[in-house]
Structure 1
């Protein structure tokens, strides 16, 4: 059980690797290992989420990457938009160590990386954008928490963007986000992956 990427201390035997990948027109080098999500390449969901990102919009405020893994989403954004600050959190200590290595390896300094089980150790309440490729295998409760608790950590006008496969509950997630935010839009669909975005239009949610 503890081998899973969504646990704090995966005990999978180390299988360290390094490779390069181009994200948001940035050539990035990634250090990876066993016990983390998508350890050998950037997964299609992450790539699709980044395809849907509007970098000009992101330049308006701080960004949070929830469940960052070894950092492809948050680090690619931080590299592409150096004038903003990006926070990256995950529960997996091995993934966080790799994320810190990857930030250093790629000369990315406008980031802060720390351990948090979803938002438990996140105190900031005025992010402009929260992004997540949720850990589906961790269960629906965790995924739902990432969706619902984002509202309290966004500024008015800020947005949550997530990627989920249709077969892994994207339609259900869209309903949840609509309930919390009062709106949810599918901004991109690719090969069964849905990019869903909600905007915090007012301080009090739809409830």
Structure 2
């Protein structure tokens, strides 16, 4: 058999470099971001990401923000632009994507962005908000392990905002999150995507009571 197909969630994409630019145009933020082959949606701003950027709120709590599976950085850089006094962690396993985030942050003059591998985030860092268009195609087991780990690092009063296509299992993911003790609600459904809000696990003395998703 030939070499396995390289995915955007590969650590070192095998696809030859083919750089381009994606223009992010939102009501309050305008960015021109360099992209490349081997990262997620290099040719355009993904519809799900746009839904998240247009509708996910800024955090209620004070603290660092996390873009989980950052790609070339549209989520991290948008929220870094909205909260220039807040540290935004852009996390990905894809080294090419992380290099692009660093380049794009430098071009945009955003010095509050830290792009790094997951293991490089200090253990003591907790997050006021987590934003993600999660890599569903890594498989359910890997996705669940990843989400459980990072959601456990939300600050009390913090929230995660996940955008997931309905036909790729958004509703079953919401049910699983509720079953794991992370109260999860659907904020909206648009263009075939669900925007989910996920709260931290309740303390032992305060049982979780997440609402349903239907």
Match of 2:104 in 1: 102
Count of aligned pairs: 202
Match of 1:157 in 2: 157
- For the 8 Å contact 1:21–1:42, the answer to whether it is kept is yes
Distance of 2:171 and 2:197 partners within structure 1:
12
Match 2:30 to one of 9, 27, 34: 27
Structure 1 residue 201, shift from structure 2 partner: 5.7
Match of 1:193 in 2: 193
1:127 matches 2:127? yes
Match of 2:79 in 1: 77
Alignment of 1:63-74 (within 5 A): 63-74=65-76
Deviation by residue 1:27-83 (Cα, 9 ceiling, x = unmatched) = 10110110010001110011111122223x357321011100001001100011112
Match 2:64 to one of 55, 62, 65: 62
Structure 1 residue 191, shift from structure 2 partner: 1.6
Match 1:6 to one of 9, 28, 32: 9
Unaligned runs of 5+ in 1: none
Distance of 1:95 and 1:5 partners within structure 2:
9
Moved more, 193-202 or 100-109: 193-202
Structure 1 residue 125, shift from structure 2 partner: 4.4
Distance of 1:81 and 1:68 partners within structure 2:
17
What TM-score comes out, normalization by structure 1 length?
A: 0.90
Deviation by residue 1:130-184 (Cα, 9 ceiling, x = unmatched) = 1111112211122212322233211111111111111101011101211233421
Moved more, 89-98 or 121-130: 121-130
What TM-score comes out, normalization by structure 2 length?
A: 0.87
Match of 2:211 in 1: none
Unaligned runs of 5+ in 2: 209-214
Distance of 1:195 and 1:24 partners within structure 2:
19
- For the 8 Å contact 1:59–1:81, the answer to whether it is kept is no
Distance of 1:80 and 1:184 partners within structure 2:
25
Match 1:113 to one of 111, 115, 127: 115
Moved more, 37-46 or 149-158: 149-158
Structure 1 residue 193, shift from structure 2 partner: 0.2
Moved more, 58-67 or 164-173: 58-67
- For the 8 Å contact 1:127–1:155, the answer to whether it is kept is yes
Across the aligned residues of Structure 1 and Structure 2, the Cα RMSD in angstroms comes to 1.8
- For the 8 Å contact 2:76–2:88, the answer to whether it is kept is yes
